[in-house]
Amino acid sequence: MSIGIVGLGYVGLPLVVAFAEAGEDVLGVDVDVAKVAGLKEGRSHIEDIPSERLQAVAERTTFTTRAVDLHETEAILVCVPTPLNRNREPDLGPLLGAARTLAGVIAAGQLIVLESTTFPGTTRDHLVPLLEESGLEAGKDFALAFSPERVDPGRTDYTLANTPKIVGGLTEACTARALEVYGRVCDELVPVSTPEVAELAKLLENIFRSVNIALVNELAMLADRMGIDIWEVVDAAATKPFGFMRFEPGPGMGGHCLPVDPFYLTWKAREYDMVTEFIELAGKVNKQMPYFCLEKIERSLNEAGRPVKDSRILIVGVSYKAGVGDLREAPALKIIELLRDRGGDVAYHDPHVPELPQFGLRSVEPADCDLAVIVTAHPEVDHGAMIDAAPSVLDLRGMTRGLRDAKVRQL
Ligand SMILES: NC(=O)c1ccc[n+]([C@@H]2O[C@H](COP(=O)([O-])OP(=O)(O)OC[C@H]3O[C@@H](n4cnc5c(N)ncnc54)[C@H](O)[C@@H]3O)[C@@H](O)[C@H]2O)c1
C-alpha cells in the first residue's frame, strides 16, 4: 500500500518527501509534464526540498502524470492550486478537475483528503458529488476529510512534523482514518468535528495575518506623515508580554496564500448576505502599499534632486518573502512596474530569482545606482556592504532600524 499525492507544488512535494522519509511508498501525480520529468530525474523545483533530499528517497517515490495509478494507493492527498479568476472569484477549476479524474480511479476502502485552502463547504458540497460519480459513497465506501496545509515556505523551525495538523472528516470514522495516516508524519494532530470547521480554521489563520499586516501597514503610512519611526513603535509595543502580537510593516502582501485565500471566504459570505469588511479593508490597505513605496522612492530621489525618469534604481530582493524565490503576487513586481511606467532605469539583485522575463531583466550584482531599495531582505545578502556602496538607500523591511544615517531612509 502507498500514499498518493495529487499536485506536486509547494505543498504536495514536501508531503511526498515526508511520507517517503517515514518509510511509506509514495506515488506523486501532477498534470505538469515538465515537473514530473524533472522529479523522475531527482530534480526538485521547490527550494525547501533540496534535490539531494528527493534523491535520498528515490526508491520509495514514483512520479507520474497517470492518475490511474492512484487506484492502488491506500490514501490520496489532494494539493492542487485554488487561485482566483480574473474577477477575483474562486477558481475551483484545478480542484474540480482533479476530483473528476479521481472519480474515475478511486477504489473502495481508500481515504481521500483535500489539503488545498478553500471556502467552507468545498469538501462536502463540491467534492462529494464528483467523487461519488465513481459509484462509491463518501463516508461509507471511501473515507473523506479536509486537512489544511500550514507549511510556511522557507521556514525551518516549524515543519510538517512539528506543526499541529487539523483534520476534519465527513464522519468520525473518516476523521479517525485521516488521523492514523497523518500520525505517521505529524507529531500533533487536531481532530475537529467537520470538514467545514477545518476549512474555516485555515481561512481564519490567513485572514488573521492579512488583517494584522494591513493594520501595521496603515499605521506605517500614518507614522510616516507624523514623522514617527514605525519600526521603533513596533519594537516598543512588542515588549508587552501579553495581549499583543508583533507584525511588521512592509511593501505589501505576497505569496499564493494571503492575497488570495481570504477572498474565497468573501465570495462565499455573499451567499449568506454577509460582507466580510475586515477582509476587504485589509486587501485594500495591503494593495496600496506598493504605491506608498513608490512615493517613498520618489521622495528619496527628490532629496538628491533627481526625478524617477532615468534614475538608476536597484531593487534588492524581488521575491515575496525572505529566503525563497517565489514571485507569486510579489509587491516588488508592482513596484518595478510603477517605476518603469515613470521612466525609471530599474535593475534588481536577488540570489533566489535569476531572471524576471516579464521585465527582460536578470539579477545583477549590487552595482552602481542612484538609489538602492531593500524590498525583500534575503538572509544571504550582505546588506551592510550594499548600503555602504549605494549613494542613497530606502529600506522597506526595517533592516536598518535604529541606524541614523542621512543617506538611509526607512518605510
Ligand atoms: N504555498 C504555500 O505556502 C501554501 C501553504 C498552505 C496552503 N497552500 C494551499 O495549498 C494548495 C496548493 O498550493 P501550492 O502552493 O502547492 O500550489 P502549486 O502551484 O505550487 O502546486 C500545485 C500543483 O498542482 C498541479 N495541478 C494542478 N491541477 C492538477 C490536477 N488536476 N491534477 C494534478 N495536479 C494538478 C500543478 O501542476 C502544480 O504542480 C493551494 O490551495 C494553496 O492555497 C499553499
pLDDT digits (tens, 9 = 90+) for 251-270: 999 988 999 999 999 999 99
Cα 114 from Cα 110, distance rounded (Å):
13
Gap between the Cα atoms of 355 and 358, Å rounded: 9
Catalytic residue, chosen from 79, 174, 186, 257, is: 257
How many residues make up the chain in this entry?
A: 411
Give, for ligand 1, the residue of 13, 149, 260, 261 to mutate: max count of ligand atoms closer than 8 Å to Cβ: 149
Question: What is the SS3 assignment for 75?
Answer: strand
* Residue type at 161 in one-letter notation: A
349 CB-near residues (< 8 Å, 6+ apart): 314, 315, 316, 317, 363, 364, 365, 366, 381, 386
Pocket probe mutation, ligand 1, options 30, 46, 260, max atoms within 8 Å of Cβ: 30
In this structure, which residue's CA is closest to atom 21 in ligand 1?
9
Tell me what pLDDT residue 272 has: 98
Q: What mean pLDDT comes out for the span 297-301?
A: 97
> What CA–CA distance (Å, rounded) separates 360 from 12?
31
What whole-number distance in Å separates Cα of residue 202 and Cα of residue 198?
6
Report pLDDT for 139: 98
- Yes or no: say if 304 and 378 are a contact pair by the CB < 8 Å rule: no
Strands across the sheet containing 189-192 = 61-64, 25-29, 2-6, 75-78, 111-114, 143-146, 165-169, 189-192
Q: Which three cell numbers stand for residue 95?
A: 480542484
Q: Is 257 a catalytic residue?
A: yes
pLDDT at residue 268, as a whole number: 97
Q: How far is the CA of 94 from the centre of ligand 1 (A)?
A: 9
**HSE-CB for 60 with a 13 A CA cutoff:** 18
* Closest CA to ligand 1's atom 23: 7
Which residues surround ligand 1 with Cβ inside 6 Å?
Answer: 6-12, 29-32, 35, 79-82, 94, 97-98, 115-117, 149, 151, 153, 256-257, 261
Do 61 and 28 form a contact (C-beta atoms < 8 A)? yes
Spacing, Cα 30 to ligand 1 middle (Å): 10
Residue 121 CA, ligand 1 centroid: distance in Å? 19
Chain segment 186-234, per-residue pLDDT in tens: 999 999 999 999 999 999 999 999 999 999 999 999 999 999 999 999 9
Atom of ligand 1 nearest to the CA of 95: 31
Which residue owns the Cα nearest ligand 1 atom 41? 116
Kindly state the helix (H) or strand (E) to which residue 333 belongs, with its residue range.
helix 331-341
| Index of the ligand 1 atom closest to the CA of residue 11 | 16
Q: What is the pLDDT of residue 256?
A: 84
> Is pLDDT at 29 greater than 90 in this prediction?
yes
Kindly give the number of the ligand 1 atom that is closest to the alpha carbon of 261: 43
Quote the ligand 1 centre to 338 CA distance (angstroms): 29
Q: Which of 5, 134, 142 is nearest to 61 (CA)?
A: 5
* C-alpha of residue 26 to centroid of ligand 1, in Å: 17
What's the Rg (C-alpha) of the chain?
23
Atom 28 of ligand 1: nearest residue by CA position: 94
pLDDT mean over 323-327: 93
Model confidence, pTM: 0.95
Average pLDDT over residues 305-332: 96
Q: For residue 341, what are the contacts with CB-CB under 8 A and spacing of at least 6?
A: none
Hunting for cell 505576497 — which residue is that?
Answer: 254
CA distance 42 to 22: 18
Which distant-in-sequence residues (6+ apart) come within 8 Å of 321 by Cβ? 153, 154, 254, 255, 376
**How many angstroms separate the CA atoms of 405 and 393, rounded?**
10
Which ligand 1 atom is the nearest neighbour of the CA of 153?
3
For ligand 1, mutation pick of 80, 199, 253 (most atoms within 8 Å of CB): 80
Judge whether residue 155 has pLDDT over 90.
Answer: no
- Residue 81 and residue 6 in contact, taking contact as beta carbons nearer than 8 Å: no
Give the per-residue pLDDT at 404.
86
Cα–ligand 1 centroid distance for 45 (angstroms):
13
**Does residue 1 have a pLDDT over 80?**
no
| 131 CA from centroid of ligand 1 (Å) | 19
